[in-house]
Amino acid sequence: MKSLNQNVLTDVVNKLRDNSIEVVDLTHVLNEETPIISLPDPFVDTKGFKKEQISKYDDNGPFFFWNNISMGEHCGTHFDAPVHWISGKDYQHVDEIPAKKLIGEGCVIDIADKCEADPDYCLKIEDIEAFEAKYGEIPDHSWVLIYTGWARYNDDHEKFFNVGEDGHPHTPGTTVEAAKFLANEKNILGVGVETVGTDAGLAAAFDPPFPNHYFLHGANKYGLASLTNLDKLPPRGSIVIASPLKIEGGSGSPARVMALVEK
């Protein structure tokens, strides 16, 4: 065991103390307004978040305040396990994922300008290659985080879902080719996004439908949805920590996701 003054973790804690490492919270507040995915017919939607008070220093519990909560596994800022998708059905449930695979370097690909111009914009292989040309190859064991600017709409459901006159949501995602590329050519932990799910609003009509889910989970990789504050991360070098609940046999879980960023 290393002595304290040589220990990299002690160094990290010291930098947390003096604020030279910042902890960026990538998680939205969870409440009854938290947006949840709305699927086209005939698919059944998940339930949103609900909170019900048990006691608050009253007759039901004079010394304590606590609540019961309920929600779907894929509610708010959340984690998608490989078994969430049929292509990953033989891989792990959320409780079976090694904790080591929840923590990795953040690689933030910024396509916010393109999504501002076109809400249906989907990450292309060229965007990934442009990122790598500028910042180096996406390393093994990293989280690829796609910054679209969509988190700023989280509290405005109309803008967040952006349903057009065609009745379909118009929100950014990933092309079939880029999803396949990230899943099969990169040894990453998974992909994180700011939208309600890891695929574009129109992705039910892609071939295959929902390609990010299909290819990433089919390659035993993970998803993070409804992230925020990606604009506060550098393109490379942050440490992203995802902490889904250890739900036995679960397909995913609401998660607190945070990043360590050295100033």
Closest CB to Mn ion among residues 216, 241: 216
Cα(79)–Cα(192) distance, rounded to whole angstroms? 9
Closest by Cα among 44, 88, 27, 45 to 254: 27
| Cα angle 230, 232, 234; round to 5 | 90
Min dist. Cβ of residue 251 to Mn ion (A): 8
Q: Any contact of residue 74 with Mn ion (CB under 5 A)?
A: yes
The amino acid at residue 28 is H
Annotated catalytic residue 74: no
Here the tokens at position 112 are: 């916010």
Over the Cα atoms of the chain, what is R_g?
19
Min dist. Cβ of residue 80 to Mn ion (A): 4
Closest by Cα among 252, 237, 207, 230 to 36: 252
Question: Could you give the C-alpha distances from 40 to 79, 166, 252, in angstroms and in order?
Answer: 22, 12, 21
The contact pattern for Mn ion, residues 121-160, with x = CB under 5 A and - = no contact, is ----------------------------------------
The contact pattern for Mn ion, residues 20-59, with x = CB under 5 A and - = no contact, is ----------------------------------------
The contact pattern for Mn ion, residues 79-98, with x = CB under 5 A and - = no contact, is -x------------------
Closest CB to Mn ion among residues 227, 259: 227
Q: Any contact of residue 194 with Mn ion (CB under 5 A)?
A: no
Number of residues that bind Mn ion (CB under 5 A): 2
Burial class of residue 78 (count of CB atoms within 10 Å of its CB; 0-12, 13-18, 19+): buried
Residues with a known catalytic role? 84
Q: Which residues bind Mn ion (CB under 5 A)?
A: 74, 80
